[in-house]
């Protein structure tokens, strides 16, 4: 028997305050539980493979942050906190509970901010994949400010394996325009301190759900020590380094990333009993 590929549908969901969010849905919402996958500055395509793989086990929702890939963004939506509240509104609108929020890069930052604001108990766990958002205690663990780098240099730092690096030189004018617009939107959301809130680390002790921090060991943007510090900032934080991966472990090491998430669910989120 041939396995059926998980279904994927795209639609726009209207949220409070005139905000509309484009979401990709993978699989079927059968019991109100789900994973919510939040992309980083490289756009929604970076989470598509992981969303599809996870949808073999659970309903998966992958939004496009307003302003990315040509989607509309109201002027008032210009901070990570705004996105965090919007995605909590999305969980309310879809009536989802026990949600694992999985975020890569700034998507992880959004996930952490969501957990701090989840007054209705929608979130059951977080998984942060090479996330940004906190201030590093040590200079050696600081995040690289990608605003100062050319696209090719960013690609070099982001992937351990050259085979995964996009060939920016081969992009069409249209692809370059989308990439440039996405970077402008990223800079807007990331704020003047760029890629972190100086006060966020001191607030994470209030996150009550378990948190898995998965980290590509060869990340040239957010180093391994930064990831360990992130995990240690949560009361129930768990750290898993992933060899042979950079800023996108879900792309370069999909199998190891899925294994880490599966072990986290089985041993921490929903531990099996004998």
pLDDT at residue 140, rounded to an integer = 65
What's the pLDDT score for residue 1? 43
pLDDT number for residue 194: 85
For the chain, the farthest-separated pair of C-alpha atoms sits apart, in whole angstroms, at 58
Cα torsion angle, 109, 233, 154, 138, sign: positive
pLDDT at 273: 58
pLDDT at 254: 98
Strand order in the sheet with 237-242: 8-15, 19-26, 60-64, 35-38, 99-104, 123-129, 211-216, 237-242
**What's the burial of 148, exposed, middle or buried (CB within 10 Å: 0-12/13-18/19+)?**
exposed
Task: Summarize the confidence of residues 222-236 as an average pLDDT.
Answer: 96
What is the structure's pLDDT at 49? 98
Going by pLDDT thresholds of 50, 70 and 90, the confidence category of residue 36 is: very high
Kindly indicate the confidence band of residue 165, based on its pLDDT and cuts at 50, 70 and 90: very high
pLDDT digits (tens, 9 = 90+) for 205-223: 999 999 999 999 999 999 9
Look at residue 58 and tell me whether its pLDDT is greater than 80. Answer: yes
pTM over 0.85: yes
pLDDT tens digit string along 62-113?
999 999 999 999 999 999 999 999 999 999 999 999 999 999 999 999 999 9
pLDDT score recorded for residue 148? 85
pLDDT at 215: 98
Answer whether 244's CB lies under 8 Å from 218's CB. yes
10 Å Cβ neighbour count for 29? 15
- Calculate the average pLDDT of the chain: 94
pLDDT in tens, 110-164: 999 999 999 999 999 999 999 999 998 777 688 998 888 988 899 999 999 999 9
Which has the minimum average pLDDT: 98-102, 205-209, 230-234, 268-272? 268-272
Cβ-contact 122, 92 below 8 angstroms: yes
Q: Domains of the chain, with CATH numbers? A: 8-268 (3.40.50.1820)
The pLDDT of residue 168 is above 90 = no
pLDDT above 70 covers what percent of the chain?
A: 96
Which residues, in sequence order, are CB contacts of 261 under 8 Å at separation 6+? 54, 100, 102, 127, 212, 214
């Amino acid at each position: 028997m041939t396995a059926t590929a998980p279904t994927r549908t795209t639609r726009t969901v209207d949220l409070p305050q005139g905000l509309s969010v484009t979401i990709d849905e993978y699989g079927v919402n059968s019991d109100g539980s789900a994973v919510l996958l939040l992309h980083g500055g490289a756009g929604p395509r970076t989470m598509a493979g992981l969303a599809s793989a996870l949808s073999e086990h659970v309903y998966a929702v992958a939004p496009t942050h307003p302003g990315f890939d040509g989607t509309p963004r109201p002027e008032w939506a210009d901070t990570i906190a705004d996105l965090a509240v919007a995605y909590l509104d999305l969980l309310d609108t879809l009536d989802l509970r026990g949600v694992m929020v999985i975020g890569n890069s700034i998507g992880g930052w959004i996930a952490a901010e969501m957990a701090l604001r989840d007054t209705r108990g929608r979130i059951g766990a977080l998984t942060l994949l090479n996330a940004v958002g906190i201030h590093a205690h040590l200079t050696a663990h600081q995040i690289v400010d990608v605003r100062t780098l050319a696209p090719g240099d960013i690609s070099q730092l982001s992937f351990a394996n050259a085979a995964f690096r996009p060939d920016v030189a081969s992009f069409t004018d249209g692809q370059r325009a989308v990439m440039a617009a996405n970077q402008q939107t990223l800079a807007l959301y990331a704020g003047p301190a760029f890629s972190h809130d100086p006060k966020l680390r001191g607030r994470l002790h209030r996150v009550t759900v378990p948190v898995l921090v998965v980290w590509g060991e060869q990340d040239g943007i957010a180093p391994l020590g930064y990831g360990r510090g992130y995990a240690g900032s949560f009361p129930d934080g768990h750290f898993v380094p992933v060899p042979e991966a950079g800023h996108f472990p879900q792309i370069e090491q999909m199998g190891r990333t899925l294994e880490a998430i599966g072990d986290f669910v089985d041993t921490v989120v929903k531990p099996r009993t004998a």
